[in-house]
Structure 1
Amino acid sequence: MTTGPKFTPQEINTLSHDDFVQVLSSVFEGPPWIVAEAWSSRPFLSLDHLHASLCAVMYAAPIEQQVALIRAHPDLVGRAALAGTLSPSSTNEQAAAGLDRLTAAEIETFSHYNQAYRERFGFPFVICARENKKENILAGFEQRLHNSRSQEITLALGEVAKICLLRLRDLIRS
């Protein structure tokens, strides 16, 4: 993430479908179906246009596909984080929120919230960690556990969109 953006929007527009998917596959967790489908929306006039096109695909998907996208996200301070097996993007994002420097008691608190949230909604809690610190994330758990499942799907997709934009900014010069 510290190397700076690698591509211009014009360069992104010239990529083959396979190269486009390979270059942008990291902007979403899980299989790159959103990126693959958005390729046909070229040319992208700007980073914001590309982001809007990607999000349009995400929001237009059937609910089952949206939930699968949410489920592709790792738990915050979950098993993958503790084992060091997160994607590089997720590792850096959780570290930016200070989630790599927690006490044993804080890890237990996150574990409790992760479990309660998954039991209630059937998918992990998604929040843009780069825009939050641990205190805000814990407060988010407490607030959002009272929402309906449909409210949480909507909120989670909004957070996925924020994550996508930040990851695009890491890849593309505007």
Structure 2
Amino acid sequence: MVSRNGFISRFGGVFEHSPFIAERAFDAGGVREPLTAAGAHAAMCAAFRSASEAERLGVLRAHPDLAGRLAIAGELTEDSRKEQAGAGLDRLSPAEHARFTALNEAYTTKFGFPFIIAVKGLTRDDILSAFEARIANSREQEFETACAQVEKIARLRLESLIPEND
């Protein structure tokens, strides 16, 4: 049986810098044996969805800008670094970097949280297209979209941490 501390230690970072999601999922009884990515994801998403809007906003704000200052300074979490590198965001041209910087600033000013997208399987062009389309959304639409993307990122992270044969 997975212990509370063991679960939080292993999965507390799945929702970026927000271990309270793993804590609440475990405490609510949502973590069951055998531990699967799908089961852990369902429990953690239930905890995320039941969090207050302010808490969910905190989770959104814990995410780094795409190709932003934390990436340049090498201060991303290991998961974020790998995800951004996988999409080529660590290899932007100066013009592409300037476009990401401008979009990050405009998006954060408009919505109050960074642009969040599950980048796995996407190209830089895919990400820029989504960025440019989503910046036209209302705050309510974008809050819901960003929360859905956070859940998708969590699923991808859990799938890498809990292989199917685990």
Q: Same fold (TM over 0.5)?
A: yes
CA distance in 2, matches of 1:151, 1:95: 28
Structure whose residues are more often helix by fraction: 1
SS at structure 2 position matched to 1:131? coil
CA distance in 2, matches of 1:90, 1:42: 25
Aligned length: 161
Structure 1 residue 125 corresponds to structure 2 residue 115:
yes
- The equivalent of 2:31 in structure 1 is 42
Query: What CA deviation, in whole Å up to 9, does each residue of 1:117-172 have, x standing for no partner?
Result: 00000000000011321101111111111111111111011111111111101111
SS at structure 2 position matched to 1:75? coil
**Match 1:134 to one of 102, 112, 124:** 124
Which structure has more relative contact order (CA 8 Å, sep 6+)? It is: 1
CA distance in 1, matches of 2:80, 2:135: 23
Structure 1 residue 93 corresponds to structure 2 residue 91:
no
Q: CA deviation at 1:47?
A: 2.1
Uncovered stretches (5+) of structure 1, i.e. residues with no partner: 1-13
Which residue type is aligned with residue 32 of structure 1? P
CA distance in 1, matches of 2:54, 2:120: 27
CA distance in 1, matches of 2:33, 2:141: 31
Structure 1 residue 169 corresponds to structure 2 residue 156:
no
CA distance in 2, matches of 1:166, 1:35: 15
Bigger shift: residues 85-94 or 26-35: 26-35
Which residue type is aligned with residue 104 of structure 1? P
Q: CA deviation at 1:50?
A: 1.6
RMSD: 1.1
- The equivalent of 1:148 in structure 2 is 138
CA distance in 2, matches of 1:133, 1:36: 34
Structure 1 residue 15 corresponds to structure 2 residue 2:
yes
Instruction: Specify whether residues 80 and 25 from structure 1 end up closer, same or farther in structure 2 by C-alpha distance, changes over 3 A only.
Output: same
Q: CA deviation at 1:26?
A: 2.2
CA distance in 2, matches of 1:159, 1:78: 18
